[in-house]
Structure 1
Amino acid sequence: SNFQGQTLPPRKPATAAAVAAGTVGAEHALVISAVLAKVPGCISPEVKARAEAELADAAAGLNPDDLGKVGDRLLAHLDPDGQESDHVDRQRQRGITILPQDRQLMSRVRGAITPELRAKFEVILTAWAAPGMNNPADPDSPTGTIDADGIDAEALAAARGRDLRSAAQRTHDALLALCDYV
C-alpha cells in the first residue's frame, strides 16, 4: 500500500496471481524476481511485463532450479550478446551480502561485483593469494604481497611446497591478511 493507505497493484502481477492461486511457490517468485532484476534497463516495460508473465506461466510446471534455467534462456533472448546491459544496469545489480553465521560461526558470502572491482580484485589476489603466501597454518609463510621487497625466494619456494590450501582458501587467507594490513 502507499502513504494514503490505498492498495497498489503488484509489481509482478502474473507472479502474484500464480502465488495467490497456489500454482507457484515463494521460491519460484524469488527466482522470477532475480531474473527480472537482470533484464537490461533499455528493454521496454511491455517486453519486461511479457517476460514476467512467461516466467510465471512456466513456473507452474517447473522446480525453481529449472525455472532459473528458463530465465537464463529468456535473458539470452532479450540480450543475446550482452551488449544491452550497461553501466547503470551493472551498478543496479552490484552488491555483496555476508549471510548470518552458522553453528560453526562460519558465514557464507553471496554477491555480484562490477567488472571494475573484479579487475582490481584479481590484481590484488595475484599478489596476496599466491601459493605459499599469507598461510596462517605455516608460521614460515611469507606475509604481505608476493612482490614486496625482502621476500626471500627460497623461503617462498619452500612455503609453496608446504601449501596444501585450495585457491578459495588462499583467497580467504589473502583477504584476512589484507584486513590485518589495512
Structure 2
Amino acid sequence: MYVRSMSGHDLQAAVTALRAAFDEVASCDVALLDRAELVAALDELEALGCRLPTMSHRLLARLRSEATPQQMGAKSWREVLTVRWRISGSEANRRLTEAGLLAPRQALTGPSLPPVLPATAVAQAHGLINSEHVEVIRRAVDKLPGFVDTVTREQFEVTLVRTAVGVGPKELKDTADLTLFLLDQDGPEPDDTERARKRGVSRSKQRPDGMVDLSGHLTPEAWAVWEAIFAKYAAPGMCNPDDPEPCTSGTPSQEQIDNDHRTLAQRQHDAMVAIGRIALMSGELGQLNGLPVSIIIRTTLEDLESRAGVGTTGGGTVVPIADVIRMAGHANHYLAVFDGATGSALDLFRAKRTS
C-alpha cells in the first residue's frame, strides 16, 4: 500500500472530505435500487468498513510513540481508549493489540519497519479481510511453537491470509488449527521459554447470576504454590462457609470433616476466598491509590437499610447486598456509603463499625 507524507492540516482536510463523502452517500435514496444494485452497494461498504481500521492502527501506533498514558490523563492506554471513546476494556485491548501488530513500527533510526503481521496488514488495507479474520490470524500466529523459524512463521501467516480471502472466520480457524497440528504433531517439548510464554490467568465477564469464570495456564512453580495451599486450606473440613465457625487455621474437628459435603472444586474455591481474606487482613499488601489494599464496595444507604439490592466494588464487580453485609464483618474491609438521592458520599466506615 502506498503511503504519502502528509501534514496535520492535510490529514484533517482528508478526514473532513471523508465525512462529507459519507454524508453524501447517506443522503442517497435506496428505495428504487434493484437487487443487484443493493448487493453491489453493500459489498462496497463492507470492503470500505474492512479498510477503515488500517488508518486507526497507524494513528494509534503513532500516538503511542509520541505520548504516554499519563500525558493523556490516564494510567494506561487501555484507560485512554475506554474513557475517550466509551468502549469496553476488551475492545480497547483488541484495538491496541491490532495496532501493535498491523501498523508500521517506529524504528530508532532510519525508515519505519514493516508491521509484525505484514500480510495481514496488506489484506486489511485492501478490504479483503475483516476484523474477525484478523482475530483468528493473530491468535493462530501467537500459538506457533517457539521452535518455528522466522521463514516458516511468515509463510504460516501468508497461508492464513490467502485462505481468509475466500472463507469465513470459522473455516479459517479450522485451517489454522490443522496447520498448527501438522507443524507440531508430537506436541511441544518441555521448555521454560514456551511455558513462560503460555502462562496466564484470565476471567470472564461477570455473568447475570453474579458468577465469574476463571481459566488459566499455570507454570509448574505456580501450581506448586497452590498445590501446597490447597493441601492445607482445601482439605475436608477446612474453610467451610456452611460451618457456624469455619476452621481457617489448625486442624478441623472430625465432626467438621464428616459434615463437609462439598466437592473438591468447591473446597478449592472456598480456600481461595480464605487465603485472599487472610492476605487482605495481613496489612502487608501496601496501598493502592492512597488507600490500604482492601475490598471497597460502593452501595446506597437505602439498600443497606432494606437489605436488598447490590453493591459495586472498585473494580466493577456487582455484589449482592447480603454478601456486602456479611463481608463487612471482616477487618480491613471498608464500606463507601453514598446517599441515594444526591449521590454524595456520607462517610467511609470500617466494616466492624457497620456490622
**Is TM-score (shorter-chain normalized) higher than 0.5?**
yes
Distance 1:131 1:17, change over 3 A: farther
Q: Distance in 2 between the 1:119 and 1:59 partners?
A: 42
Q: Note the alpha carbon deviations across 1:137-180, whole angstroms, 9 max, x for none.
A: 44344335xxxx4321222111x23x3x682x443322111122
Distance 1:23 1:170, change over 3 A: farther
The structural deviation recorded for 1:58 is 2.8
| Residues 238, 252 of structure 2: 8 Å contact kept | no
Alignment of 1:1-182 (within 5 A): 1-2=105-106, 6-60=111-165, 61-64=167-170, 66-84=171-189, 86-97=191-202, 109=214, 111-130=216-235, 132-144=237-249, 149-158=250-259, 160-161=260-261, 163=262, 167=265, 169-182=266-279
Range that drifts further, 101-110 or 52-61: 101-110
Distance 1:124 1:57, change over 3 A: farther
Q: How many residues align?
A: 173
Q: Distance in 2 between the 1:56 and 1:132 partners?
A: 55
The structural deviation recorded for 1:43 is 1.2
The structural deviation recorded for 1:52 is 1.0
- What is the letter of the counterpart of residue 252 of structure 2? I
| Secondary structure, aligned partner of 1:96 | strand
Task: Pick 1 or 2: higher relative contact order, CA cutoff 8 A, min separation 6.
Answer: 1
| Residues 40, 85 of structure 1: 8 Å contact kept | no
Q: Which residue number in structure 1 is paired with residue 331 of structure 2?
A: none
Q: Note the alpha carbon deviations across 1:33-85, whole angstroms, 9 max, x for none.
A: 22222222221111111111122233341325x54443332222222212346
| Residues 200, 217 of structure 2: 8 Å contact kept | yes
Q: TM-score, normalised to structure 2's length?
A: 0.41
- What is the letter of the counterpart of residue 233 of structure 2? W
| Residues 136, 169 of structure 2: 8 Å contact kept | no
The alignment's C-alpha RMSD in Å is: 3.3
The structural deviation recorded for 1:16 is 1.5
Q: Distance in 2 between the 1:78 and 1:26 partners?
A: 26
Greater Rg over alpha carbons, structure: 2
Q: Distance in 1 between the 2:162 and 2:143 partners?
A: 19
- What is the letter of the counterpart of residue 257 of structure 2? L
| Residues 133, 141 of structure 1: 8 Å contact kept | yes
Determine what percentage of the aligned residue pairs are the same residue.
Answer: 35
Q: Note the alpha carbon deviations across 1:61-110, whole angstroms, 9 max, x for none.
A: 1325x544433322222222123462112212323345776788766545
Q: TM-score, normalised to structure 1's length?
A: 0.72
